[in-house]
Amino acid sequence: MTTLHTGRLTLRPIRAADAGPLIELFADPELGRHHQDDLTDPDAVRRLVRRRLDDRGPAGTGDWVFELDGELVGIGHLRPSTELPGGVLECGWYLARVHWGSGLGEEAARAIVDHAHHALGAPAVFALVHEDNPRGRRFVERLGFHDIGSGHHCGAVHRVLVSLPEPGGVHHVELWVADLPSAEKSLGWLLTELGWREYQRWPRGVSWRHGGSYVVVEDSPDRRGDRHERTRPGLNHLALHVRDRAELDRITAAAPGHGWRLMFADRHPYAGGPDHVAAYLENDDGFEAEVVAGEHGL
């Protein structure tokens, strides 16, 4: 996990030694009023800390404690939901009541949600808010979450709210090529196989789109030279998401029939390191594409 920082807070990964300060935090019955366990019970808090320390979720997820000038004032989490389907990421937080209304809760919550969207690439983050907690619901709505309904979760009826990433990131990438039909055969095939769809077409170019981003391939009349050289300054390669290892293996097996060769074959699929599952492909025109499989594309 990564330590996060806001204007006033440090969010650091939870430690076993935090059990004592967290017992003091949850001694306030209002703080854990909507939790399914009685967190005013010190043993319940100790069990909670053990569960959090034993959790082995995806990289970058877990539990943080909130420190203000070295004092523990809250706790928050980001992890795959045990209540919602599909392995989606769920977030939540508790802040000492003395700091309610200070803006610290919003600082901490925004740091966690931004980490999910921008560092981990999560397409959605969910929050569950007890049906009898209108204050909590107003808080997450102020953060930009959208209420999508209610359901029976964690032993009670909860509102389900979702945060979606704000527009941003890469708008488009433009590649100039010397042979447009050859680029369509290789790059066009690969993008289409990965779920991209043709977006625009004109006499000397074509583009493919996925979500808010698109890739342009163009034989521009202003082009100089006849071959891409990826080791020179400029674009080295495109790195693209693939759903999982099985899909990566399918793409890798089919790629040679569409103008690609597998690079670093002796280290495939771990040429990028033991925790990075990917295929590195080069086409006949010298363009490299890295196809990455894994949780949230990491």
Radius of gyration of the chain from its Cα atoms, rounded to whole angstroms: 24
pTM to 2 decimal places: 0.68
- Alpha carbon distance 162, 124 (integer Å): 7
Residues 6+ apart with CB under 8 A from 63: 13, 14, 52, 55, 75, 76, 77, 79
Domains and CATH numbers, the chain: 4-163 (3.40.630.30), 172-297 (3.10.180.10)
Computed over every residue of the chain, the mean pLDDT equals 91
Provide the β-strand partners of residue 92. Answer: 77
Predicted local confidence at residue 297, as pLDDT: 36
Predicted local confidence at residue 123, as pLDDT: 83
Predicted local confidence at residue 298, as pLDDT: 35
Residues 91 and 111 sit within 8 Å (Cβ to Cβ)? no
CB neighbourhood size of 155 (10 A): 10
Residues of the chain under the 70 pLDDT cut: 84-87, 167-168, 294-298
Predicted local confidence at residue 86, as pLDDT: 66
Predicted local confidence at residue 34, as pLDDT: 82
pLDDT tens-digit readout, 22-78: 999 999 999 888 888 888 999 999 999 999 999 888 888 999 999 999 999 999 999
